Amino acid sequence: MTTLRFLDQAPRFLFFTGKGGVGKTSIACASAVRLAEGGASVLLVSTDPASNVGQVFGVSIGNTVTAIDAVPGLSALEIDPEQAAQQYRERIVGPVRGLLPPAEVASIEEQLSGACTTEIASFNEFTDLLTDAAWTAAYDHILFDTAPTGHTIRLLQLPGSWTDFLTEGTGDASCLGPLSGLEKQRAVYAEAVAALADQARTRLVLVARAQTSTLTEAARTHAELAGIGMARQYLVVNGILPDGVDGGSGEGGSGGEAVADPLFAAIRAREQQALAQMPDALRAAPTDYVALKSSNMVGLAALRGLLEPEVLPAAGQGEHAAPSAALPDSPLSALVDEIAAGGHGLVMLMGKGGVGKTTLAASVAVALAARGLPVHLTTTDPAAHLTDTLAGGAGSAEVRSLVSSSLKVSRIDPAAEIQRYTDTVLRTKGAHLDEQGLAMLREDLRSPCTEEIAVFQAFSRVIREAKHKFVVMDTAPTGHTLLLLDATGSYHREIQRQLGGTVHLTTPMMKLQDPEQTKVILVTLAETTPVLEAAELQADLERAGITPWAWVVNNSLAAAAPASPLLLARARNELPEIEHVQEKRAARLAVVPLLADEPVGIPALLALATSPLPAALPAVTRP
Q: Is the dihedral of CA 312, 318, 321, 325 positive or negative?
A: negative
Q: Is the dihedral of CA 54, 60, 65, 71 positive or negative?
A: negative
CA 378, 450, 538 angle in degrees (round to 5)? 65
- Count Cα atoms within 13 angstroms, Cβ side, for 79: 28
Give the Cα separation of 257 and 249 in Å (integer): 10
> Which among 19, 24, 352, 469 is annotated as catalytic?
24
Sequence-ordered strand ranges (E) for 324-438: 327-328, 345-350, 375-379, 407-411
Residue 24 known to be catalytic:
yes
Give the Cα separation of 241 and 252 in Å (integer): 8
Residues 360 and 591: beta-carbon distance below 8 Å? no
| Local structure of 13: helix, strand or coil | strand
CA 238, 242, 248 angle in degrees (round to 5)? 170
Give the Cα separation of 156 and 195 in Å (integer): 14
Residue 62 known to be catalytic:
no
Whether omega before 528 lies within 30 degrees of 0, making that bond cis, reads no
> Which among 18, 23, 239, 393 is annotated as catalytic?
23
DSSP string, 211-236: SHHHHHHHHHHHHHHHTTT---EEEE
Residue 214 known to be catalytic:
no
Give the Cα separation of 419 and 409 in Å (integer): 22
Neighbours of 415 (CB within 10 A): 9
For 3, 6, 111, 175, 237, the CA distances from 507, given in Å and listed in that order, are 59, 52, 22, 25, 46
- Count Cα atoms within 13 angstroms, Cβ side, for 455: 21
> Which among 18, 20, 21, 114 is annotated as catalytic?
21
| Local structure of 243: helix, strand or coil | coil
AA letter at 74:
L
H or E element, residue 46: strand 42-46
Interhelix angle 115-131/150-157, nearest 10 degrees: 70
H or E element, residue 208: strand 202-209
Give the Cα separation of 443 and 384 in Å (integer): 31
Residue 25 known to be catalytic:
yes
Residues 6+ apart with CB under 8 A from 325: 575, 618
> Which among 17, 20, 46, 48 is annotated as catalytic?
48
Strand partners, 15: 144, 204
Residue 26 known to be catalytic:
yes
Residues 6+ apart with CB under 8 A from 254: 242, 246, 247, 291, 294, 309, 310, 311, 312, 566
> Which among 221, 254, 529, 564 is annotated as catalytic?
529
> Which among 17, 26, 170, 214 is annotated as catalytic?
26
AA letter at 508:
P
Known catalytic residues are 21, 23-26, 48, 529
